[in-house]
Amino acid sequence: MRALSLTEVPFREIEEIITEDEGKRGISKRLNLYEDYYNGLHSLYQGKKILILTGFTVPECHAGESDGPLGSVALAKALEDLGKEVLIVTDRYSKNILEGLRKIKEISGSIYSVPINVNKIELQGILNGFEPTHMIAIERPGKGIDGKYHSMRGEDISAYVGDLDPLMEMAKKHKIITLAIGDGGNEMGMGKVRDTGISYVDQGEKIFATSSADYLILAGVSNWGAYGLVAGLSILSDMDLLQEEKEEVRLLKTLTELGGVDGCSKRRAMTVDGLSLGTNLNQLLRLKKIIQKNLSD
């Protein structure tokens, strides 16, 4: 890895925090993608219109999980505070969750829900209608090599997933810069590290996604990756754009009340990916400290 300049130090500190593998997923600390985080962040900062894809369904619960939506609304609000336009795209199992979180965050951009059997014509319509400069997938399922969507346990969940995977290649054809955040290998955009990543993930050959993003951000929890982008945007803009601890608690509580579940425990609980509320809040607070340390007086 190249030597870091002094101005890069806080960004490296952020990346170190968001890649901590508290849930023992086995991948975020195995692959060094700091350059993707750093360069992707700076590209996003220059963006004008950002399309966010999120929502990972837990079939047994007929509901979306807590990892993804929380990070997506945090990033959407930060981008809007910087004067950018945002559109969030998901499917039926996460739509109500995201609408509820959107109201709390007072996000102006809308939530677009695609049907499970969405076709490429509708996906092209989304791109044509919004004309994004950037697209970022945050904990959004990505198709495996068999053309199916899989849970971390290897279950085929395709019947519960609106097929957004084609958007990755469609975006590239339209010269739209793509980013992705994932923590387990089965998320959209993770195909960028498939060849090396499959050996670090249980059933990696089967579940690892094939779609590849321009910039891939690995995280111990995908929400943390989104918070890491918000922290980085805060430093670049000299504005604290990351939510406070109380708001994070309110958002997670609202998510569970709207039916959202922990993707690992499959329970409606104040946890994310099997990790306690305290663990998640600690990561948020550590990022807040880095932001505060690097803002102008």
Give the tens place of pLDDT for each residue, 223-272.
999 999 999 999 999 999 999 999 999 999 999 999 999 999 999 999 99
DSSP-assigned letter for residue 201? S
Confidence of residue 29 (pLDDT cuts 50, 70, 90): confident
Place of tokens 């969940």: 157
- What's the pLDDT tens digit per position in 30-41? 788 999 999 999
Q: How far apart are the first and last CA of the chain?
A: 32
Instruction: Name the nearest CA neighbour of 293 among 10, 14, 4, 8.
Output: 10
Candidate from 160-164, 202-206, 245-249 with smallest mean pLDDT:
202-206
Q: What is the pLDDT averaged over residues 163-186?
A: 97
Tell me the CA distances in angstroms from 203 to 59, 90, 93, 254, 271, one per residue in order: 19, 26, 25, 33, 25
Instruction: Name the nearest CA neighbour of 183 among 67, 50, 11.
Output: 67
DSSP-assigned letter for residue 187? B
Alpha-helical (H) ranges within the chain are 9-18, 34-46, 69-81, 92-105, 120-130, 166-173, 194-197, 204-207, 222-237, 245-257, 277-294
- What's the pLDDT tens digit per position in 75-131? 999 999 999 999 999 999 999 999 999 999 999 999 999 999 999 999 999 999 999
Per DSSP, the three-state class of 122 is helix
Give the pair of three-digit tokens for residue 230: 């918000």
- What's the pLDDT tens digit per position in 13-27? 999 999 998 877 767
Q: What is the pLDDT averaged over residues 2-7?
A: 67
Place of tokens 């130090």: 9
Q: What is the CATH number assigned to the segment(s) 6-294?
A: 3.90.1640.20
- What's the pLDDT tens digit per position in 59-77? 999 999 999 999 999 999 9
Q: Is the pLDDT of residue 182 over 60?
A: yes
| Percent residues over pLDDT 90 in the chain | 91
Residue 7 pLDDT:
84
Q: What are the DSSP calls for 231-297, one per residue?
A: HHHHHHHTS--SPPHHHHHHHHHHHHHTT-B-TTT-S-SS-BTTB-HHHHHHHHHHHHHHHHHHS--
What is the residue-averaged pLDDT of the chain?
Answer: 95
Cα 127 to Cα 164: distance, rounded to the nearest angstrom: 12
Residue 24 pLDDT:
74
Q: What is the pLDDT averaged over residues 178-206?
A: 94
In terms of pTM, does the model score above 0.85? yes
Candidate from 19-33, 38-52, 159-173, 274-288 with smallest mean pLDDT:
19-33
